[in-house]
Chain A
Amino acid sequence: MNTQIHDLSLGNSLAGLQHGKTVGLVSDPFMRPTSMQAMGVPHGSAPGPKVVHSIAGLQMGDQVVELKATRDVQTPVIGDLRSLREEERSMADPITDYAFAEANTLLTFAHLVFGDDLPRTLLAPDGEGGIRIEWFRENRNVRVIIPSRPERRAYVYQLIGEDPRIKPFSQSSVVQTLRSVILRP
């Protein structure tokens, strides 16, 4: 069935028709063998191996198992973050677990959102166990300051020419700031 624009009327017109679940993820009926053939799977093929997600799943008797491989790909910026932590490890104020975790989460998220469009990320310690993250483009600059402890409050600083601003830190505020300051042409 083609989904047309009028089908999107999330009407409250009849009781029980309110959508609390995701609209559009309609579970289509059982895929017939012709569909499998269209995918290149021979008609009548046995179903694929079961997937286990833990070692305990291996203790399944004669059930076919296949370990689901997870790919933990370290991006260059996360590699650099880890290097920074190592460089500071012997200092009077090494990078704290809190700062590292926050930076790791942020940079992983930014990588997911921007992929290769994310400009070069420059990391530096703040000398007190926190991390400063900077991006530049021409006369534009975005900084994220992640302190050593949560009580000190992280923040985002942006500079466009002579116009500086500061805003509270969150993943979305960093992404929005990068989009509006660094990635805009």
Chain B
Amino acid sequence: MPKLLVKQATVNYHGFFASPAFNLFGKLPEIITGLSKTFAVHNVGLGNFRLEGDAAEPSTAATVVRLGRFGIYKFSFDHVQASLNGFSDGDLEGMVSVIMAGNRWVRESVNDFAFKTHAFVYSSHSALSDGLTSSQFLLGLARRTTPILGEDLGSGIVETWHSAPMDAKIRLTLDHSLQERDGLYVSYMVVLERDDIDYVEIALRSRELLEKFLQEVGLEFERSQR
């Protein structure tokens, strides 16, 4: 089975609020103090913080905390975000713990708080093992009947479905990479439309589902790569 040799990968988490964090408007010291204490175990100092946006436009304002190998955690008044680039399995575990800790602080700090939606988004650019090109691989997939008005270079897949075990909407794209020559691009989105989720469980199941899907289409990650 061809292997995906991951060259670039990112994971993003977005948690969208049901209502904005009105009680934290203009409370930057409180936000920084709260996030500082939340991530104290990472030896967070003021140098780890970055402020974005414009206080005059609350929707753009954000407080970003850099957490080393575990990426960043970003608080905006209407959502939170965590991001990680080029990571190991251990870094992913750390990112999950960052999300859990950060979101716990948000719940405790924002009046009448609830999440509306959570979204986990994974994307990667990979080469294929054994000198296989993306065209060769994609041309080998079952074809749709859409006409091709030229030389067929192989078309990717976009699949959308509901996962009952996770109660989540899944969107998965597999296509030519525009960054990795002859490589494959994977985009995988898991969207959960509810307030409370088990972050660890969802992270685990999401990964299993991605690997299962890739196996179904005849691909697997190279060992210890994601």
A2: chain B residues within 8 A (beta carbon):
59, 78
Interface stretch (choices A83-91, A93-101, A145-153, A170-178): A170-178
B93 to chain A: which residues have CB within 8 Å? 113, 171-172, 175-176
Separation in Å of the A107 CB from the closest CB of chain B?
13
Contact B121 A23 (CB under 8 A): yes
Whether A12 touches B173, Cβ cut-off 8 Å, given contacts A24-B81, A34-B54, is: yes
Selected from B52, B117, B173, the residue in CB contact (under 8 A) with A5 is: B117
Q: Is the CB of B70 within 8 A of A112?
A: yes
Q: Give the interface size bracket for A toward B.
A: 35 or more
- CB proximity to A under 8 Å, residues B61-104: 62, 64, 70, 72, 74, 78-79, 81, 83-85, 88-90, 92-94, 97, 101
Q: Which of B179-217 contact A (CB under 8 A)?
A: 179, 185, 187, 189, 191, 200, 204
Docked pose: A25 CA to B53 CA in angstroms: 11
- Contact between chains at B85 and A22 (CB < 8 Å): yes
A22 touching B12, Cβ below 8 Å: yes
A113 to B40, CA, bound (A): 12
What are 20 A-B pairs at a CB distance below 8 A? Answer: A1-B60, A2-B59, A3-B14, A10-B121, A15-B178, A19-B123, A20-B123, A23-B10, A25-B72, A28-B53, A28-B54, A31-B54, A35-B51, A35-B56, A109-B94, A113-B94, A115-B97, A171-B88, A175-B93, A179-B200
- Residues of B in contact with A (beta carbons under 8 Å apart): 8, 10, 12, 14, 16, 26, 28-29, 40-43, 45, 47, 51-56, 59-60, 62, 64, 70, 72, 74, 78-79, 81, 83-85, 88-90, 92-94, 97, 101, 117, 119, 121, 123, 125, 156, 173, 175, 177-179, 185, 187, 189, 191, 200, 204
